[in-house]
Every structure is written in structure tokens, then in C-alpha cells.
Amino acid sequence: MKAFLSVAAVLIVLLGGAWLVFPEAMLGRWGVQTDAVGLFMGRRYGTMLLGFAVILGLGRSSGPSSARTAILGGGALASGLVTLVGVGGILTGTVGPGAWITVAVEALLTGGFLCFLLVGRAAPQPAASEK
């Protein structure tokens, strides 16, 4: 899981950095208008992604705990919802087909978060005296 969270953090840093520094290119790839409001929203999205990446990076070494469950659950929810919104945007023509690459990465991240969340819940938990 440490490797997954490390890779996820790096991917999200790259994506967040691109949105923060190059919002016009990111919006253009998606076929979205690059007016001042769009650029502002792209930068805001980038800053949120960077904050999420820090949470993943700092939490990558956490053992079985409610904090790790929160990180994995939050990651699954956030990446899952953004994947669904992205697919919806593509299918309705709101955004262009250039969004498929990002949506595919988000879907893979969702699968990883869910896998580790479910595997962690299925693993035997140490007894209170073993903690």
C-alpha cells in the first residue's frame, strides 16, 4: 500500500501542478473555454489536488488505523466522484475527448483506493493487548 499511496501522490502532484501552473493548457486539452473564470477555477482545482497529494504522501506509511481508513475512504470517494463527473462531462459533450486520459487515471486511482480499503478491512485486526 505504501507504494500505491506514493505513486498516487506523485500522479496527483503532477496533475495538480499542471492545473495550477498551466490551467489554459489543461482546459484547452479538455475543450473547455479558457476565460478568466475558467483559469481561476482550474488553479483552484490544482491547489486542492496538491493538498490531497500531501495527505497521501504524509499518510503513506501509516499502519492499520482509523487515519489510514480515512485516507483510503476519502481517496476512493474523491477520485470516484471526479471520475463519474468526468465521464458525464465527456458523454454529454460538455468537455472534449481529451479528458479521457485524466478520467482513466482517476478510475485507476479509484480502484486502488477501493482495493486497499477493502483489503484492509478484511485483514485480521490485532487484539487490543497486541497494539
Q: What is the pLDDT of residues 19-30, one digit of tens each?
A: 999 999 999 999
Neighbours of 16 (CB within 10 A): 20
The predicted model gives 25-42 an average pLDDT of 92
pLDDT at 120: 74
Domain total in the chain: 1
Say if 127 falls within a structural domain: no
Query: What integer best gives the mean pLDDT of the chain?
Result: 91
CB 85 within 8 A of CB 102: no
Say if 71 falls within a structural domain: yes
Say if 94 falls within a structural domain: yes
Rg (CA), the chain: 17
Q: Which residue range is the domain that position 110 belongs to?
A: 2-122
pLDDT interval class at 1 (50, 70, 90): confident
Say if 65 falls within a structural domain: yes
- What pTM does this model have? 0.84
CA end-to-end distance (rounded Å), the chain: 20
Say if 131 falls within a structural domain: no
